[in-house]
Structure formats: structure tokens, C-alpha cells
Amino acid sequence: MGAVGAGTLLANVFGYGLFLVLNRELGADELGAVASLLNLVIIAGVAALSTQLVSAWRVALHRPDAQATALRTGALVGIIVTVVVALLTPVIVPLLHLDGPSPVLLVAASMLPTCLTAAVQGSLQGAERFVALGTVYAVASVARATGGALAAWLGWGVTGVMALTAVASWALALGVILLMRGHLGRTMHADVPTQVRRVLAGMAGTSALLVASTIDTPVARHVLSGDDSGAYAVLSLFAKAAFWGPAFLATVLFPHMSRTKGLRPLFVALGGTAAIVAVGVTFSALLSGPLVRIVGGTAYAHLASLVPAFTALGGAWALTQVLVFWGAARGRHVVGYLVWAAVGLATVVVVLWRHDSVAEVATTFLVASLIVAAVGVAVSVPRRASSGPAQH
């Protein structure tokens, strides 16, 4: 657990470091565009999380050729998502107020390596190789942050940032596949199955959190002015910190969730996540002024009062993530469907009514996240300890 926690922490540090550079090297409008595109990478990569969890489940249960199946599945799913994003480019460009299609096509180019990396991560997670998994998390963040920061520092603008980010994704994927080199031979055999259908079916539930934790930034980009969307991008870092900070608990406990018949892994993950979130929200309220100046500079100091709201937003999604993982381990995706419904409703409300300020957009998504977390606990915790893992 410590290795994954350390890897996640280091990944978060470099992820936030990237935005510290972007906040200072890009204007507010460019910053809003880049933040929306980086979140689009996560949203378009919802299949990657599903690939990781399906791979982890198969490896944890010692299914035949589980690692080779993971790699074949990651490759096929990555190709599918690449094509989908490329086809949607004419729609995405005007929605995000971009100057051309190149940044979105670069998002599409990063999908295949993202899904391949997720397949490797799932294999490591299921085998409980947590030192290697934590290392991959950290190296992934370092590579992407370095590429994006270098492009911004060189003045290459929005397209340059996305280009080097895509290059970093490919370099990472080629590197982590070496961890699975013992299974590469079997990957090419026709008798090795794939889990594409299971991944696509699981996306509705297991990947809802990736959309939920990122969709607000592109929506803010669409409904707010260029400067306000940049301000929203700065504040969204606090939500991401609260969401990803405790994520290692659900990751580490997922193999146990897949095998156990009791509720202990759920309670441990929920309790630990809640404690971390509570500390985060408290500190963000007490130190909101200094924190926002560190993250965005003095130009964004007037937004300090919103820091606790963004931290609570990410924290609520972190709690929901535990519940989504718990359901995924048992083949139940009720909480995932709740997430989709709440995020969809919040998006409609923002687009039609609550879009006059950063605060209106943020608080709308905050209310949605709190409702899902509360209802999710209610529908998940009463499960009897005797209800073991479902047969996927």
C-alpha cells in the first residue's frame, strides 16, 4: 500500500507542477483551452480505467493467459477510442472554442498508448505488484508533466502542449510494456481471448468517475468567458488533489474486494478516504489564500473563497470512487449509473441556467457530487457480508 501511495503522491505532485508552469506561461484563455483538452484526454480514456479494472480482476482470480489477454484488450480498446475521438473532432472544436482540429486529433493520438498502459497497470494491480504499479504511476506523471511544461516554456502554445503530451504517452506505453515482455509472445496468438465486450460494458459504471471528476472543466470552458475558464482551471487543481490523493486506497484494496466475502475492504477504503478528505477540506479552508497564490499566482488571489468548495467537490468524488470500485468487484454498477445521471443533470443545469460565474458552475457540480456520495453509501453499505464477489 505504501508503494502505491507514494507513487500516487509523486504523480500528483508532478501533475500539479505541470499546472504551476502552465498557469504562469499561458494566458488565461490558452490555459482554459489546455486544461479542457487535458481533461478531455481523461474523459476520452474512460475505457482505460475499465480496461485496468477488468485486467486486474482476471489476474487476481488467476484466469488463464490473463496478462496476454490484458495487452490484446488494451490494444483493441485503444484503437476503438482513437477512431471515436477522431470522428468527433468536428464537434469538439467549436464546443471548446479551439482555433483548429490539431489539438483534438492529438488527444486521439494519445488514446492507444493510454489504454495499453492501463492494461499493464491492471495486470500489476491484480498481481499485487504494488511497487511496480506505484512506479508506473509516478513515471507516467513525470513524463506527461515534463512534456507539457517544456512545450509551454518554449512558447509552443496549446497545440505544442498537447503534442508533447501525446509523445510522452507513447514513450511511456512502450516502456511499461517491457514489464510484460514475458507475455508478449502469447499476446500474438489467436487463441488468446480479449475482454473488449466486458470493458465496454463496464465503462458505464467503472469509468463514470473519470468523467465526473473532469467534465466540469470542459463545461466551464464552454459556458464561461476565456478568462473565467482559465480561473476555473486553476481552482480545479484543488478538486483533482482531493480526488486523486486518497485514490491509492481503492486501488490497493481492489484485489481484496474481488476475492473477499466480507465488507472489511469497503469499510477500510471508505474510512481512510473520508479521513484524508476531511483533512484536505479543513486545510483548504484555513489556508485558502496562500494556497491559491501558490497554485495560480496573485492574479487569482481573489478566488480564495472558492478553494474549499473545489476541494469538497473532489473529495466527494473520491468517496464515490471507493463505492464504484466496490461495485465493479462484484459486477454491480449501480453507483456508476448514479454518477452518470447526476453529472448529466448537473451539466444540463449549468448549460441552461447556472453559468454566470465560476462559483455557479462549481457549486452546481458540488451539489451533484455530494448527493451521489450520500446515496452511493446508502445503496452499497447494506450489502450483506455473505454476498461474495459476483461471477463476471
Tell which residue, 72, 118, 111, has the closest CA to residue 88.
Answer: 111
Gap between the Cα atoms of 264 and 270, Å rounded: 10
pLDDT tens track for 121-167 = 888 888 778 788 878 888 888 888 888 888 888 888 888 988 999 99
Instruction: Output the pLDDT for position 190.
Output: 65
In degrees rounded to 5, what are phi and psi of residue 195?
-120, 35
Instruction: Output the pLDDT for position 390.
Output: 45
Contact (Cβ atoms closer than 8 angstroms) between residue 205 and residue 323: no
Q: What CA–CA distances, in Å, run from 31 to 6, 60, 160, 228?
A: 29, 41, 13, 10
Largest CA distance in the chain: 60
Please compute Rg for the chain using Cα positions.
20
Residue at 299: amino acid letter: A
Write out the chain's pLDDT in tens, 392 residues: 555 556 565 666 666 667 667 767 777 778 778 878 887 887 777 788 788 878 887 777 776 667 778 888 888 888 998 999 999 999 989 888 888 899 999 999 999 999 899 888 888 888 778 788 878 888 888 888 888 888 888 888 888 988 999 999 899 988 888 877 766 666 666 666 677 777 776 666 656 667 777 778 888 888 887 777 878 888 888 888 888 777 777 676 666 666 666 677 777 877 888 888 888 889 888 888 888 887 777 777 788 888 888 999 888 888 888 887 777 666 666 777 788 888 889 889 998 888 878 888 888 998 988 988 888 878 776 545 444 444 44
Cell readout for 84 is: 471515436
Q: What is the pTM of this model?
A: 0.64
pLDDT tens track for 180-228 = 776 666 666 666 667 777 777 666 665 666 777 777 888 888 888 777 7
**In this structure, how many other beta carbons lie within 10 angstroms of the beta carbon of residue 198?**
18
Three-class SS of the chain: CHHHHHHHHHHHHHHHHHHHHHHHHCCHHHHHHHHHHHHHHHHHCHHHHHHHHHHHHHHHCCCCCHHHHHHHHHHHHHHHHHHHHHHHHHHHHHHCCCCCCHHHHHHHHCHHHHHHHHHHHHHHHHCCCHHHHHHHHHHHHHHHHHHHHHHHHCCCHHHHHHHHHHHHHHHHHHHHHHHHHHHHHHHCCCCCCCCHHHHHHHHHHHCHHHHHCCCHHHHHHHHCCHHHHHHHHHHHHHHHHHHHCCHHHHHHHHHHHHHCCCCHHHHHHHHHHHHHHHHHHHHHHHCHHHHHHHHHCHHHHHHHHHHHHHHHHHHHHHHHHHHHHHHHHCCCCHHHHHHHHHHHHHHHHHHHCCCCCHHHHHHHHHHHHHHHHHHHHHHHCCCCCCCCCCCC
Tell me how long the chain is: 392
Tell which residue, 190, 162, 214, 196, has the closest CA to residue 343.
Answer: 214
Q: What CA–CA distances, in Å, run from 226 to 98, 215, 390?
A: 11, 17, 47
